[in-house]
Structure 1
């Protein structure tokens, strides 16, 4: 796994993202299939964080949860967001066999079976789980268009807008085979609290509106070309 070289205070031995070399990945027969439960009624709002936008969910109950796979607990859905770049060749955070993809979806969960809150969970090695899904450029798709249309409602930092009854399952591929590793947040304070689950298949909908999305990102982030949040 990637060892950060910025400073000894901020960087450790399990930093994310990483370059996944598929031929070096080890098959573990004891890993279970992912068990994902989404309730569209738990989606609440879209929020401009200044460097990125989040779609946030009601995480006060176990209505939208992730379990099994590499996990030993039940994890509650908190939010999802996208990473993209200034071109179609530098958007994804994770790299597969040296290949960077146009965009990456991150679906963020926290260990609600063991901890009382997201903030508390983020302090522990088994606190968070994130599903990473790579996206390609393609034709217009209504699943993503629904999100893109709401970006005009949250053009400035701190703005938020109602975003309800969104079926997140429609962003996932049919095949949920995955790579997994223990890693970190990709922004400060770089806590090594994340079980990463990177899907081996691309998202079903493709990122058709990357140009408009990138424009929004630059407006919201000033000089930041690649929005990063976890």
Structure 2
């Protein structure tokens, strides 16, 4: 994900270890993604997220092939307040965070594709929903993993439609508009997640990003991911980065917490 203009300098997923040569932040000590070792996480019960009343309605979005990923933003109108309809607060994050964009990361097969790992396990894809606090300029990202299913009954219809729409964006800088429902694309089922401070996972790799990585997964058919691999990019993820002593919190208790 990239939120600053200097990210327009050339970069690709062919050589992530070389990003630091043009983007010094990429060589920092608080980079993302990371491998989350659940045994080394600390339990901390966060208050619930509070989403805006229009979060579960359909909205018109614009999807753009940036040349490195598909970025989806709210469709810009000049006659309404569409920038203010999608926001969240709560979960011990300061103030109100407004929606910026969402984008998907994937790999060349089902054994890779997610950026974060859980206990060394990588998922076939991962989606990032990016938000900004307009007062503090803090960035918060809500991340969800995907698992591949084989039957239509368990396929996620909203993500199936997303893949069908954006897989048509075969050329860099091509765009399309489509109606999506973020409440369906971003299912917060049981509220279990991990929280840590890291960085953007694409250049300029700016640090200070508040990450919330949900532990449950979203089902998607392999056919949908194949549409993205074949038509957009074969691979679109950054390898994990060193933790460097950072603390990872988890929003649930486990059997190992009996003495807490």
The two structures have a TM-score, normalised by structure 2, of: 0.72
Matches within 5 A, 1:1-230: 9-10=24-25, 11-29=27-45, 31-37=46-52, 38=55, 40-57=57-74, 61-112=83-134, 114-115=135-136, 121=137, 127-138=138-149, 139-140=151-152, 141=155, 142-164=157-179, 166-171=180-185, 172-203=187-218, 205-208=219-222, 209-218=224-233, 225-227=235-237
Which structure has greater strand proportion? 2
Structure 1's unaligned 5+ residue stretches are: 116-120, 122-126, 219-223
Structure 2's unaligned 5+ residue stretches are: 1-16, 77-81, 239-260
Pairwise CA distance, 1:189? 1.6
Q: Partners of 2:50 and 2:221 in 1: how far apart? A: 25
| Larger RCO (CA within 8 A; separation ≥ 6) | 2
Pairwise CA distance, 1:13? 2.0
Computed over aligned residues only, the root mean square deviation of the Cα atoms, in angstroms, reads 2.4
Pairwise CA distance, 1:201? 1.0
Equivalent residues, number: 206
Q: Partners of 2:144 and 2:131 in 1: how far apart? A: 14
